[in-house]
Structure 1
Amino acid sequence: MRLVVTSEQRYQRTPDGRVWSTTGTANDFWQRYRAVFAEVRVVARVADAPGRPPRAQRVDGEGVEVYGLPYYLGPVRYLLRLPRLRAAVRAAAGPGDAVLLRVPSAIGTLLHRALRRRRSPFGLEVVGDPYDVFAPGASRHPLRPLLRWWFTRRLRAQCRAAAAVSYVTERELQARYPAGPGAVSAAYSSIELPRSAFADRPRRPPGAAKVAVRLVSVGSLEQPYKGVDVLIEALPLLVEAGLSASLVHVGDGRCRPGLERLVRERRLGGRVSFAGAVPPGAPVRLFLDDADLFVLPSRTEGLPRALIEAMARGLPAVASRVGGVPELLGGAQLVPPGDPVALACAITALAADPDALAAASARNLARARNYAAETLARRRADFYRALLVVTAPDRVEEVVSGAD
């Protein structure tokens, strides 16, 4: 049976028909659905490219097909292409397909409307929170309050109507966007950490309070909600507190020039560096292993992959209290979003306490093991089988026996 799954990823197609990703959500990501479904059709925006982009990974192949939608970037181009998008999305899923919408998503919403008219069952993977995405400071869109209200209301309605709903958090998203009565519900992260992602042991306590502190942050710079500007604003406060603090940010995007300008304005040129886009996996782990402290100053999150990867390396961390982050960290390691003073205080306090650094390392490594690949693969497969059952009840015997 085929699974049709929507995605907000943006892909590129070369003249030979192959589809490529520069964001890491490539073929290996979509293969996880094939634990239950024979074929996977990914519904996403695809732009034509003259050749394979640098560092790109193949998306299609081995039972994975990409159903390309008209390419757009931003709300204006979305509206201009809306008639074509609606027609393309309606044709993406046939009567015999199982459908899974990764939400919140404009593409997922378009397909949801088509399914509702057909009275077709569908499942959801809730991977983010529009209430936080459009929070003050997280988005600069002039219609931010309206978009926050609309997308939050829309996601609640989708969760109530879905036959099966999974969440990347254990509690946070479930409370704000509850599934409807009788729906199958599950909790698992999209992250998949192989054994090589985990450190062998926690970090040893430093002999004394840290004075030279190497900070690392990881995340896309396409939107301001990762809060890297807040971390940059906190750096002068760390220096005033007597720390020789430096920061490396791993990730790239259109906000980078503005952040580089902020670094110059704060005269932090010798303390902040941007590594740019780095391939996932071992290359990112090199930056994590070289740091003393991971910082996630996001204004919004679902369940952040970057934080879990840092925790798996036994890296102490400080993060904003948003989304599912409180399910990973607690106490003094959590700060309000958008508050450079609170962020600087938390970093300073942790760096000054060798025992706290060692305890955070051990706690983070132990907590991250809950996101090992084999553990999450079982949870996902159970949910996908349930989705297949509610989509094709005449095949319950096959599903239960694992025939698909």
Structure 2
Amino acid sequence: MRIVVSSEQRYLRTPDGRVWSTTDAGNDFWQRYRAVFGEVRVVARVEDRPGRPGDARRVDGDSVEVYALPHYVGPWQYLRRLPRLRARLRAAAEPGDAVLLRVPSAIGTLLWRAIRRRRRTFGLEVVGDPYDVFAPGAIRHPLRPLLRRWFTRRLRAQCRSATAVAYVTERALQARYPAAPGAVTAAYSSIELAEAAFAEHPRRAAGAARIALRLVSVGSLEQPYKGVDVLIEALPALVRAGLEASLVHVGDGRCRPGLERLVRDRRLGGRVSFAGAVPPGAAVRLFLDDADLFVLPSRTEGLPRALIEAMARGLPAVATGVGGVPELLAGAHLVPPGDPAALARAIAALAADPAAMAAASARNLARARNYAAETLARRRADFYRALRVLTAPDRVEEVVSGAD
């Protein structure tokens, strides 16, 4: 049986027909659906290119097919291509296919409308929260309040109309976007960590309170919602408190020049450095292992991979209490978004208490174990089996026996 999955990824196709990714969600990502389904059809935007980029990874192959949609970037190109998108999506899911929409998503919404008109069973994987994405300070747009209400209302309607809903959080998204009574629900993250991602043991308590404090933050700088500016604004307060605090940020994007200007304006040139884009995995872990404290100052988040990866290294952390973050950290290590003073106080308090730093390290490492690949694979497979039964209840025996 085949599963059709919508995706917001933008892929590249070379003249030989192969499809490539320069970001995430390559072929290995889509193989997770094959734990239950024999074939996977990924519905995503595809742009034709004359050759393969050097850093690209293969997407299609090994029973994974990419159903190519017209490529677009941004709302204006989306509107121009909307008739073609709708026409193409009408044939994305064939009779007998299971359908799973990864939402919030413009493509997922178009496919949702198409399959609802046919009264088809479908499931959702809720991987983000538009209420937080369009929160004040997260993006700068004159229609931000209207967009926040519109997209939040739409995601609620999608969750109410699905027969199966999986969330990347344990409580946060479920409370804001409840599934319909009687729908199958599950909680599992898209994040999964290999054994190499975990530290062998928690960090030990230092003999005295830290004076030199190495902070690290990780995240894209394409949008201001990661709140790195708030962390930079908090550094002078840490210095006034007697800490020799320094910061390394891992990640790049169009907001970086503005952040570098802020560093110069606050005269923090010797304390803040930008590592730029770093390959995921071992290269990022080097920065985490070299730091004393991880800081996530985001104005909005779903369930942040960067924080979970830092926790898996036994790194104490302070973060804003947005999205699913309160499910990960203790309340004493959470602060309001956009508040440099509160962020500085939380960092200074943790750094001043070696026992608390050691306890946070042990707790974070244990909590991150919930995102081990083997644990999440079991939860996902149970949900996919339920979706398969709901899609083809007359073929339940195949699900039990593992037939494709």
- Scaled by the length of structure 1, what TM-score is found? 0.97
**3-state SS in 2 of match to 1:41:** strand
**3-state SS in 2 of match to 1:138:** coil
Query: Which deviates more from structure 2 when the two are superposed, residues 67-76 or residues 355-364?
Result: 67-76
Provide the residue aligned with 2:59 in structure 1: 59
2:167 equivalent to 1:173: no
Provide the residue aligned with 1:249 in structure 2: 249
**3-state SS in 2 of match to 1:79:** helix
For 2:142 and 2:16, the matched residues in 1 are separated by: 41
Query: Which deviates more from structure 2 when the two are superposed, residues 81-90 or residues 185-194?
Result: 81-90
Query: Which deviates more from structure 2 when the two are superposed, residues 114-123 or residues 263-272?
Result: 263-272
Provide the residue aligned with 1:324 in structure 2: 324
Question: Which residues in structure 2 correspond to 1:25-40 (within 5 Å)?
Answer: 25-40=25-40
Q: CA, structure 1 residues 125+204, in 2 after alignment: closer, same or farther (shift >3 Å)?
A: same
For 1:52 and 1:198, the matched residues in 2 are separated by: 33
For 2:83 and 2:281, the matched residues in 1 are separated by: 39
Letter in 2 for 1:138: A
Provide the residue aligned with 1:376 in structure 2: 376
Provide the residue aligned with 1:132 in structure 2: 132
2:208 equivalent to 1:208: yes
Equivalent residues of 1:55, 1:279 under 8 A apart:
no
Provide the residue aligned with 1:198 in structure 2: 198
2:254 equivalent to 1:269: no
For 1:7 and 1:208, the matched residues in 2 are separated by: 49
- Scaled by the length of structure 2, what TM-score is found? 0.97
Equivalent residues of 1:2, 1:97 under 8 A apart:
yes
Query: Which deviates more from structure 2 when the two are superposed, residues 216-225 or residues 47-56?
Result: 47-56
Provide the residue aligned with 2:283 in structure 1: 283
Question: Which residues in structure 2 correspond to 1:2-401 (within 5 Å)?
Answer: 2-401=2-401
For 1:152 and 1:233, the matched residues in 2 are separated by: 31
For 1:196 and 1:260, the matched residues in 2 are separated by: 33
Deviation at 1:332, TM superposition (A): 1.6
Q: CA, structure 1 residues 26+207, in 2 after alignment: closer, same or farther (shift >3 Å)?
A: same
For 2:24 and 2:212, the matched residues in 1 are separated by: 32
Moved over 6 A (4+): none
Q: Could you list the per-position Cα deviations for residues 265-320 of structure 1 after superposition, in whole angstroms to 9, with x for gaps in the alignment?
A: 22222222222222222111111111111111111111111111110110000011
Q: CA, structure 1 residues 259+170, in 2 after alignment: closer, same or farther (shift >3 Å)?
A: same
Deviation at 1:193, TM superposition (A): 0.8
Query: Which deviates more from structure 2 when the two are superposed, residues 124-133 or residues 211-220?
Result: 211-220
Letter in 1 for 2:171: R
Letter in 1 for 2:14: T
Q: How many residues align?
A: 404
Deviation at 1:54, TM superposition (A): 4.0
**3-state SS in 1 of match to 2:112:** helix
Deviation at 1:229, TM superposition (A): 1.6
For 1:97 and 1:303, the matched residues in 2 are separated by: 29
**Unmatched tracts of structure 2, length 5 or more:** none
**3-state SS in 2 of match to 1:81:** helix
Q: CA, structure 1 residues 86+261, in 2 after alignment: closer, same or farther (shift >3 Å)?
A: farther
**3-state SS in 1 of match to 2:238:** helix
Deviation at 1:34, TM superposition (A): 0.7
Q: CA, structure 1 residues 185+205, in 2 after alignment: closer, same or farther (shift >3 Å)?
A: same
Query: Which deviates more from structure 2 when the two are superposed, residues 51-60 or residues 121-130?
Result: 51-60
Deviation at 1:356, TM superposition (A): 0.7
Equivalent residues of 1:250, 1:275 under 8 A apart:
yes
**3-state SS in 1 of match to 2:239:** helix
**Unmatched tracts of structure 1, length 5 or more:** none
Deviation at 1:263, TM superposition (A): 2.2
**3-state SS in 1 of match to 2:279:** coil
Letter in 2 for 1:162: A
For 1:54 and 1:298, the matched residues in 2 are separated by: 32
Equivalent residues of 1:24, 1:279 under 8 A apart:
no
Q: CA, structure 1 residues 272+17, in 2 after alignment: closer, same or farther (shift >3 Å)?
A: farther
